[in-house]
Amino acid sequence: MKHYLDELPNSHPTDPTSAEAREDVKRKGPKEWFPYALDFAGDLERAFTLWDALYMGLKVACEEGLSTGRSAGEWAAIDAWVQARR
């Protein structure tokens, strides 16, 4: 997921969130970074699903006052950034 997110602005500097940018990087991943991956797109989707679960936990932690780091608004902005690149 990190390679994918890092490569989006390198691949399409003017619009890293475009569908074209996302598809180009998804095609590039198994060829250049993980040539032995059996299901790069599926693994990437699993990483995003893991992020979704982590974010849900962070939202609850913020609501319960258990988060001493970022605020709920900061986590929401981070999630919006991730979702735009999904």
Tens digits of per-residue pLDDT, 24-68?
A: 999 999 999 999 999 999 999 999 999 999 999 999 999 999 987
- Report the predicted TM-score, pTM, of the whole model to 2 decimal places: 0.87
- Tell me the residue ranges of DSSP E strands in 1-86: none
Question: pLDDT at position 76, please?
Answer: 96
Question: pLDDT at position 67, please?
Answer: 80
Question: pLDDT at position 25, please?
Answer: 94
